Every structure is written in structure tokens, then in C-alpha cells.
């Protein structure tokens, strides 16, 4: 299969790694020469790390022969693609533009959005909606087992079945969710994360103790505050604001989260969030 991944950040590079390791040819699209080069380096580093852990069946150099990095998506780049995964920032207008370009450049491809909270129905407006769905991966993509498939009323059943099959062939466990604000995972994860931030804000417990309580008391592999640092405080804030607008004040972001984002303390990617990295 030829797959196109649009967006070469953390998630896009991870999806590209996963598809390459699964035996597929991948076109990774990232605008601008510098950003495209950085996207390639991110995939190379991810594959090298997996190889060091003994998680690859073939050497990274062999996998990289099937990776093409492009600065723009057009009919030449997208020719023959069966799957497009967009992994650009959580902006409805940007994602709709990217998916529209993909629909024209890859006329036979399934169009999958890696959004963690935006409406798939809204993303599919004006597009061939029968081949649009949500394909929500989790960070780090090569390691995390779950893929959340999100379907809207207009998607074709065979498209959902096809994407489910691809995900399972890549070693993922799939859950299916109807299009609703926050889907299943983001809605629950953000609810716990916002309450953990409120507890920290109110002085109920330290960040370390809140997280330790959830790890040892409830079996979470990672506490909600460290997870927020990993996802990015800015990303969590945007999702919480979206859910608050859609579902009401129970998802209203705490002041502490807004203050940290305003101060540039975005978590692991900046070196400081609720923890120091």
C-alpha cells in the first residue's frame, strides 16, 4: 500500500514510522524545505530508537528506502495512494483545507484525520464524505496500542472495515466511536486531566503525588499531569476549550492551565510544564 501522511510533527513522524515498519510505502508531506528535512530526521530518529530496542524486523536504512518526503501534495505525489492520514495542528479550517487538497490529489484514497477532538462530520463537509473518517492515533504512535476510529453518518461501511483491517495489520487494537465531541478517549482523558490540574491549583496535593495516586491506586501507566506534559499543555487547552464550548462548563480549563500556556510552559516540548523535563 502507498500511504500519504500530511504533517511531519511528532504525530505525523510517528504514523510514518508505523506505516514503514508495517511494510508500506510512505509519502510524508511537510511544507518548506527546512521543515521537510526536520520531518525526515524525526522519522529516522524514531526508527533508530526502535531498532536499538529490538523492535524492528529489518534495519532502519532498508525501511527508509520506502520513504519519500515532499513539500507539497499534488497529483504526482499522491498517485496510487490508498490511505491519507492528516496530522496537522488541531485547527478545523486548516484540516479541512488539507483534506480538500488530499481529496483532489488522491482520488481513490481513504481520507483519515488524526484529530483528537474535532468533528469528523464538519471535516467531511464539501468532501467525498463516504471516504472520510477519524483515525486517532496516540503518542508515541509506534508504541501505543490503541487506534480510535471515528465514523460519521456519511462514511461508507467498507471504508471503516478497510481502515480497521489496516490498523489491525499494523498491530493496533481498534475501538470504534461515533462522531461526538471529544470522541471517547479525549473526552474521558481531558475530564480527568482538568480535575487533576484543579486539584494542583487548589493545593490538594503535589503534581507528583496526584500522578502517583493514579498510577498506584488505579493502575494508570502514567499520571494525568505527566500525560498532559507529554501531549502538550497547549494541545490540552485547545481540546478543553472545544469541549467546554460543545458540552458545557464541566470542561472549562482551570486558570493554572491557561497561565502555564501563556507563560510558554507547554510540557516536555519546552522542557517545563507541570514537571521539569
What is d(CA 259, CA 219) in angstroms, rounded to the nearest whole number? Answer: 30
Looking at the chain, the whole-number percentage of residues with pLDDT higher than 70 is: 100
**All 3 cell numbers of residue 19?**
506505516
**All 3 cell numbers of residue 253?**
480549563
pTM: 0.89
pLDDT tens per residue, range 154-172: 999 999 999 999 999 999 9
Strand partners, 272: 267, 276
pLDDT for the residue 139: 86
Average pLDDT of span 195-219:
98
Q: How confident is the model at residue 77 (pLDDT cuts 50, 70, 90)?
A: confident
pLDDT for the residue 275: 98
What is d(CA 107, CA 4) in angstroms, rounded to the nearest whole number? Answer: 12
Q: Strand 132-136 to strand 146-151: parallel, antiparallel, or no bridges (unpaired)? A: antiparallel
Cell 479525549 locates to 186
Domains of the chain: 2-178 (3.40.50.720), 184-269 (1.10.1040.10)
pLDDT for the residue 75: 74
**All 3 cell numbers of residue 220?**
494508570
What is d(CA 38, CA 68) in angstroms, rounded to the nearest whole number? Answer: 13
pLDDT tens per residue, range 57-73: 999 999 999 999 999 99
Q: Is the pLDDT of residue 78 over 90?
A: no
What is d(CA 153, CA 129) in angstroms, rounded to the nearest whole number? Answer: 9
- End-to-end alpha carbon distance in the chain: 38
The answer to whether the beta carbons of residues 185 and 146 sit under 8 Å apart is yes
Least confident of 33-42, 74-83, 194-203, 247-256: 74-83
Q: Is the pLDDT of residue 14 over 80?
A: yes
pLDDT tens per residue, range 109-135: 999 999 988 999 999 999 999 999 999
Average pLDDT of span 234-250:
93
Between helices 224-231 and 207-218, what is the axis angle to 10°? 110
Amino acid at each position: 500500500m502507498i500511504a500519504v501522511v500530511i504533517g511531519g510533527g511528532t504525530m505525523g513522524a510517528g504514523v510514518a514510522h508505523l506505516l514503514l515498519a508495517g511494510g508500506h510505502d510512505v509519502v510524508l508531506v511537510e511544507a518548506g524545505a527546512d521543515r521537510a528535512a526536520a520531518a525526515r530526521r524525526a522519522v529516522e530518529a524514531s526508527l533508530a530508537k526502535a531498532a536499538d530496542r529490538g523492535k524492528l524486523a529489518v534495519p532502519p536504512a532498508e525501511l527508509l528506502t520506502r520513504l519519500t518526503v515532499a513539500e507539497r501534495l499534488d497529483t504526482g505525489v499522491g498517485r496510487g495512494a490508498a490511505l491519507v492520514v492528516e496530522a496537522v495542528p488541531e485547527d478545523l479550517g486548516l484540516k479541512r483545507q488539507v483534506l480538500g487538497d488530499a481529496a483532489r490529489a488522491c482520488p481513490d484514497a481513504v481520507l483519515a484525520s488524526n484529530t483528537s477532538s474535532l468533528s469528523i462530520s464538519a471535516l467531511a463537509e464539501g468532501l467525498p464524505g463516504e471516504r472520510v473518517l477519524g483515525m486517532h492515533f496516540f503518542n508515541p504512535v509506534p508504541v501505543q496500542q490503541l487506534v480510535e476510529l471515528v465514523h460519521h453518518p456519511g462514511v461508507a461501511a467498507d471504508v471503516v472495515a478497510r481502515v480497521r483491517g489496516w490498523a489491525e495489520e499494523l498491530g493496533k487494537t481498534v475501538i470504534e466511536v461515533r462522531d461526538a465531541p471529544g470522541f471517547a478517549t479525549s473526552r474521558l482523558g481531558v475530564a480527568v486531566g482538568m480535575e487533576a490540574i484543579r486539584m494542583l491549583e487548589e493545593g490538594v496535593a503535589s503534581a507528583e503525588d496526584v500522578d502517583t495516586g493514579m498510577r498506584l491506586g488505579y493502575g494508570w501507566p502514567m499520571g494525568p499531569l505527566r500525560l498532559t506534559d507529554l501531549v502538550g499543555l497547549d494541545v490540552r487547552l485547545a481540546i478543553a476549550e472545544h469541549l467546554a464550548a460543545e458540552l458545557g462548563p464541566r470542561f472549562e480549563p482551570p486558570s493554572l492551565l491557561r497561565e502555564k500556556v501563556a507563560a510558554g510552559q507547554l510540557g516536555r516540548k519546552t522542557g517545563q510544564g507541570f514537571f521539569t523535563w
